[in-house]
């Protein structure tokens, strides 16, 4: 699969309308895609072991999307083979009082993955250039000084702040992959109705979901600008077709595998003294009565 098709190049003139939501590459069979996904899950398992042992890098994976695009399911399926001890998932919902008393990056900063680990953000600091932008009242009711709240260039400044933050992380060993799961408005409607019509899925539906759907165009505009302004060579955005969940999950897995492979991870080399101790221990164990 050519994953470059999904990557937003730095400085690209982005138009989300030009990105197919139902694209499936050369896959015509869900079964074939699921076979390749299983293969990638095994590869992710193997790469994670070396990442943990190498203890020099960390990987931060960010998922952003409209409601019902499939963030939870993608995380659950693609990461199913990982050791939970080396992977941490954080879901960022409405900020708490403590979080509102800090800058908008703070709550995500304290949840960053350690070296050797994979961190997954289900939503992230990007909410503060998406939801907050679509709903100006959130910004105006915040504790920010008035000169900041009323700054006409606040979004451009935040894009720059986010870019600098991600550049800092990358230069200190945290690699970043950002996924926008691109679902169509029609497919979102089908999934909302499925949640309403299926009793065991009722809990997943909120009346607020339909209200947010009314801001669809505003979100598309906000996502377009946020992705365009913050996709860089080191911290790229990938726009993943999300109407077919089976293809979406495969595409995400391919991109993560390729990234981990590019790090040239290695198990730590054992010193001569350590090897001597290993051989001595082996001899002692083999000679036990």
What count of other Cβ atoms lies within 10 Å of the Cβ of residue 102? 13
Q: Is 139 exposed, middle or buried (0-12, 13-18, 19+ CB in 10 A)?
A: middle
Measured CA to CA, the distance from residue 136 to residue 221 in angstroms comes to: 14
Containing domain of residue 60, as a range? 3-286
Q: Which two tokens stand for residue 88?
A: 């941490």
Model confidence band, residue 285 (pLDDT cutoffs 50, 70, 90): confident
Q: Which two tokens stand for residue 109?
A: 């900063």
- In this structure, the strands spanning 58-65 and 118-122 are parallel
Q: Does the pLDDT at position 289 exceed 70?
A: no
Measured CA to CA, the distance from residue 127 to residue 104 in angstroms comes to: 9
What pLDDT does 202 receive?
A: 82
CA dihedral 62→265→10→128, nearest 10 degrees, is 20
Provide, rounded to the nearest whole percent, the portion of the chain with pLDDT above 70: 100
Mean pLDDT calculated for residue range 48-53:
96
Mean pLDDT calculated for residue range 187-210:
87
Measured CA to CA, the distance from residue 160 to residue 12 in angstroms comes to: 16
What pLDDT does 220 receive?
A: 96
47: Cβ–Cβ under 8 A, 6 or more apart, which residues? 257, 260, 261, 265
CATH number at residue 176: 3.40.50.300
The count of structural domains within the chain is 1
Tens digits of residue pLDDT in 245-263: 999 999 999 999 999 999 9
What is the average pLDDT score of the chain? 93
Task: Indicate the pTM of the whole model.
Answer: 0.93
Q: Which helix (H) or strand (E) holds 7?
A: strand 7-8
What pLDDT does 115 receive?
A: 96
Q: Does the pLDDT at position 272 exceed 80?
A: no
Measured CA to CA, the distance from residue 29 to residue 98 in angstroms comes to: 48
Beta partners for residue 120, in sequence order: 61, 89
Model confidence band, residue 183 (pLDDT cutoffs 50, 70, 90): very high
Name the more confident of 197 and 219. 219
Tens digits of residue pLDDT in 205-246: 787 888 999 999 999 999 999 999 999 999 999 999 999 999
Measured CA to CA, the distance from residue 52 to residue 266 in angstroms comes to: 10
Smallest CA-to-CA distance from 156 within 218, 103, 225, 219 is with 225
Residue positions counted in the chain: 289
What pLDDT does 221 receive?
A: 96
Measured CA to CA, the distance from residue 37 to residue 22 in angstroms comes to: 18
Q: Does the pLDDT at position 282 exceed 80?
A: yes
**Residue with tokens 């409601």, as numbered in its chain:** 67
Model confidence band, residue 123 (pLDDT cutoffs 50, 70, 90): very high
Quick check: 166 and 232 in contact, CB under 8 A?
yes
Mean pLDDT calculated for residue range 122-137:
96
What count of other Cβ atoms lies within 10 Å of the Cβ of residue 153? 9
What pLDDT does 78 receive?
A: 95
Smallest CA-to-CA distance from 226 within 7, 64, 17 is with 64
């Amino acid at each position: 699969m050519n994953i470059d098709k999904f990557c937003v190049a730095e400085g690209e003139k982005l138009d989300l309308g030009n990105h197919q939501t139902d694209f499936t590459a050369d896959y015509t069979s869900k079964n074939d895609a699921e076979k390749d996904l299983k293969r990638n899950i095994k590869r992710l398992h193997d790469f994670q072991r070396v990442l943990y042992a190498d203890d020099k890098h960390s990987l931060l994976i960010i998922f952003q999307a409209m409601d019902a695009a499939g963030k939870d399911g993608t995380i659950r399926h693609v990461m199913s083979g990982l050791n939970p001890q080396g992977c941490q998932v954080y879901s960022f919902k409405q900020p708490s009082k403590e979080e509102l008393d800090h800058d908008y990056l703070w709550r995500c900063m304290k949840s960053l993955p350690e070296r050797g680990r994979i961190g997954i953000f289900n939503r992230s600091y990007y909410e503060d250039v998406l939801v907050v932008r679509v709903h100006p009242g959130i910004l105006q009711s915040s504790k920010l000084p008035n000169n900041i709240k009323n700054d006409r260039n606040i979004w451009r400044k935040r894009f720059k702040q986010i870019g600098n933050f991600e550049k800092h992380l990358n230069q200190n060993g945290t690699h970043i992959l950002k996924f926008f799961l691109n679902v169509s408005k029609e497919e979102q409607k089908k999934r909302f109705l499925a949640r309403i019509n299926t009793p065991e899925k009722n809990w997943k539906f909120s009346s607020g979901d339909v209200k947010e759907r009314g801001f669809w165009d505003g979100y598309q505009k906000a996502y377009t600008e946020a992705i365009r302004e913050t996709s860089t060579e080191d911290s790229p955005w990938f726009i993943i077709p999300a109407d077919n969940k089976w293809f979406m999950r495969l595409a995400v897995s391919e991109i993560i595998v390729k990234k981990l492979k590019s790090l040239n991870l290695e198990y730590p080399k054992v010193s001569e003294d350590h090897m001597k101790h290993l051989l001595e221990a082996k001899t002692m164990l083999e000679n036990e009565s």
